[in-house]
Amino acid sequence: MTSIHPIDPVERNGKKCCFELSAGRSVLPAGQKSILELKASVTGFEVESESHRPSLNIALVIDRSGSMSGRKIEQAKEAAACAVRQMRENDIVSVVIYDDEVEVLVPATKCTDEQTILSKIKSIRSGGATALYDGTVKGANEVKKFFAKGQVNRVILLSDGMANVGPSTPEELGELGGRLADEGISVTTLGLGEGYDEDLMQKLAQASDGNHVFITSESSLVEVFDQEFQSVTSVVASEAVCEILCAEGVCPIRVLNRDAEIDGGKVRVSWNQIYSGHERYVLLEVEVPSGANRQKRSIASGTLKYANLQTRTADTLTDSVEISYSVSEDDVRRSANASVLRSYAEQSAASAREEAIRMRDAGDLVGAQYMLYSAVNNVKMYSPAMAEDLAEEANEVKNDSKWNGFRKRMRARANSTRNQQKGDSVK
């Protein structure tokens, strides 16, 4: 591969992200068509110091329904308070609470009067049903009051129950998440315990390019809020758009792990945010025409454009990839790119998790178990830890008493893999 924008350690630690377009193999079998994996990845530059982090515009949206009573609501309040204490005076915060009704407890404001904000959070009491959709909308509306490019605009949504007031399907929440993503707002969804709807919460997060975390116990709430705060403060780029242009004769087949626009030989994907030192990527399968032994062929070129939150400039990075053909099977085998194939295996595992959930929900327990065991074999060479998680899920997929919790773990892990989520997906 010839890199137009090579990875330069000085540049990475300075002002620009790193962009790379790479192929699963650099040598293809001569004399036949091939399916080739392409990976377009962007890695955020390292933040030099805490003072360089972007400004924040955060809405904390907290479920105060009856099921949150007791230790849950107390831990949620402490977690929210810890997040507020870490914000600067010029950061924007709002607090929205919801049960069957939605209340803006703290309208969007700069964190200049921390004690007043903390006092209002301390006053939260539980009771009522769960108007999750309306709570998200109200939180987003608070973010919009001070929305600005060059800062992190995010809703952090906590719930422990089913959405039972207002719109309550994954499709409706997904549409909401998509609209917010188009407006530059991401939604992090934090599902507490085994009573929330993981399909709905995951769909909202994924559609808005936000994180989703399954919190097994309220005792982890402070830690999870802190993790999410560390995530939002490490955003170094936003409005990232990647365009991959396939060379003549090379045909894009499908994009594996993100929604994408495919127009002829052009593929377009986007990310709302890029984190410091963290890789995000998209995987694409293309069909490559046959070629003669030792012939070289250009496969694709890529362009990444994004808003640099540190330098407040619009950066453009480019890269390209080519392959050669060989009659030697050893040449083809040795040309494998482990990084691309590892990502490919992990995305295949995410698909297997989603399909296993669908099969299990339909009553096909044997099929779901087989799907997960197959994924173990595909991924164990590249990611032993993921293989262990998949094997555990395969062993428990028939266990009715544990299925609710395992389903949430599987959904959260699949979302984390799809989006290259920064931070743990299960706590």
In a domain, 83, yes or no: yes
> DSSP state, 14?
T
Among the candidates 175, 205, 233, a domain finishes at 233
Residues 288, 214: one domain?
no
**How confident is the model at residue 1, as a pLDDT?**
33
Pair (162, 199) in one structural domain: yes
Question: Residue 247: which CATH number?
Answer: 2.60.40
Residues 226, 151: one domain?
yes
Residue 2 falls within a domain, yes or no? no
Helix (H) or strand (E) holding 344: helix 338-361
CATH number at residue 109: 3.40.50.410
79 and 166 share a domain? yes
How much of the chain is helix, strand and coil, in % rounded to 5? 40, 30, 30
What is the β-pairing status of strands 212-215 and 186-192? parallel
Do 166 and 96 lie in one domain? The reply is yes
Residue 24 shares a structural domain with residue 80: no
- 290/378 same-domain check: no
In terms of domains, do 201 and 278 share one?
Answer: no
- Distance, in Å, from the CA atom of 281 to the CA atom of 237, rounded to the nearest integer, reads 14
Residue 49: per-residue pLDDT: 66
Please report whether residue 196 resides in a domain. yes
Per-residue model confidence as pLDDT tens digits over 344-384: 999 999 999 999 999 999 999 999 999 999 999 989 988 89
Q: What pLDDT, on a 0 to 100 scale, did the predictor assign at position 324?
A: 98
34 assigned to some structural domain: yes
pLDDT of residue 418: 92
Question: What is 90-108 written as a DSSP string?
Answer: TSEEEEEEESSSEEEEEEE
Same domain, residue pair 310 and 375: no
280 and 358 both lie in a single domain: no
Instruction: Answer yes or no: do 214 and 81 share one domain.
Output: yes
| pLDDT in the model for residue 167 | 79
| Residue 1, domain member (yes or no) | no
DSSP state of 45: P
Low-confidence ranges of the chain (pLDDT < 50): 1-13
| CB-facing half-sphere around the CA of 241: CA atoms within 13 A | 12
Say if CB 388 and CB 376 are below 8 A apart.
no
CA-CA distance, 227 to 231, in Å (whole number)? 6
**0.75 surpassed by pTM:** yes
Of 288, 320, 352, which residue is a domain's last? 320
Number of structural domains in the chain = 3
Residue 308 lies in a domain: yes
Is residue 18 situated within a structural domain? yes
Q: List CB contacts of 182: < 8 A, sequence separation 6 or more.
A: none
Domain interval for residue 44: 9-49+243-320
Domain boundary among 213, 233, 253: 233
pLDDT tens for each residue of 30-86:
999 999 999 999 999 988 766 678 899 999 999 999 999 999 999 999 999 999 999
- CA–CA distance, 162 with 132 (Å, rounded to integer): 8
Do residue 104 and residue 157 come from a single domain? yes
